[in-house]
Amino acid sequence: MLSIGTIIAISLGFGVCWCCDNDVQRFAHPSKHEDGSVRFLVVGDWGRGGAYNQSQVAFQMGKAADKLEIDFVVSTGDNFYDDGLTSHHDPAFQQSFTNIYTAKSLQTQWYTVLGNHDYRGDAMAQLSPFLREVDSRWLCLRSFIVHSELVEIFFVDTTPFVQEYFTEPEGHTYDWRGINPPKSYISNLLKDLEQALSISTAKWKIVVGHHAISSVGHHGDTPELRKQLLPLLQANDVDFYMNGHDHCLEHISDTESPIQFLTSGAGSKAWRGDVKETHKRGVNFFYDGQGFMSVKLTQTDADIEFYDVYGKILHRFTSSKDLYSSM
Ligand SMILES: *[C@@H]1O[C@H](CO)[C@@H](O)[C@H](O)[C@H]1NC(C)=O
In this predicted model, what pLDDT tens digit does every residue of 243-276 receive, in sequence order? 999 999 999 999 999 999 999 999 999 999 888 8
**DSSP category for residue 121:** S
**Hey, what amino acid is at 244?**
G
- What's the pLDDT tens digit per position in 68-86? 999 999 999 999 999 999 9
Share of the chain above pLDDT 90, in %: 86
Q: How far is the CA of 54 from the centre of ligand 1 (A)?
A: 10
Query: Is 289 close to ligand 1, i.e. is its CB under 6 Å away?
Result: yes
pLDDT at 13 over 50: no
Q: Taking residues 50-66, what's their average pLDDT?
A: 98
Q: Choose, from 117, 219, 251, 315, the residue flagged as catalytic.
A: 219
- 50 CB under 6 A from ligand 1? no
3 state SS for 215-282: CCCCCCCCHHHHHHCHHHHHHCCCCEEEECCCCCEEEEECCCCCCEEEEECCCCCCCCCCCCCCCCCC
CB 37 within 8 A of CB 30: no
What tens digit of pLDDT does each residue of 278-301 get? 679 999 999 999 999 999 999 999
Identify the helix (H) or strand (E) that includes residue 285: strand 283-287
Helix (H) / strand (E) element for 196: namely helix 182-199
Please tell me whether 247 is known to bind a ligand.
Answer: yes
DSSP codes joined into one string, 49-90: TTTTTHHHHHHHHHHHHHHHT-SEEEE-S--BTTT--SSTT-
Q: How far is CA 43 from CA 59, 70, 238, 248, 266, in A?
A: 13, 13, 20, 10, 7
Number of other CB atoms surrounding residue 32 within 10 Å: 14
For residue 187, pLDDT beyond 50: yes
Atom of ligand 1 nearest to the CA of 51: 13
- How high is the pLDDT of residue 22? 53
Instruction: State pLDDT tens for residues 25-40.
Output: 999 999 999 999 999 9
Q: How far is the CA of 146 from the centre of ligand 1 (A)?
A: 34
pLDDT, residue 18, reads 41
Q: What is the pTM assigned to this prediction?
A: 0.93
User: How far away, in angstroms, is 53 Cα from ligand 1 center?
Assistant: 6
Active site residue 219: yes
What is the per-residue pLDDT for 169? 81
With a cut of 60, say whether residue 15 has pLDDT above it: no
CB atoms within 10 A of CB 325: 9
Closest CA to 198 of 222, 224, 231: 231
- Asked if pLDDT for residue 88 goes beyond 90, the answer is yes
Give the strand pairing for 38-43 and 72-75: parallel
Q: What is the pLDDT of residue 2?
A: 37
Question: Rounded mean pLDDT of 11-29?
Answer: 60
What is the pLDDT, as a whole number, of residue 325?
Answer: 64
Name the closest-CA residue to atom 7, ligand 1.
289
Residue 159: CB within 6 Å of ligand 1? no
Ordered by where they begin, the domains of the chain are 31-142+154-320 (3.60.21.10)
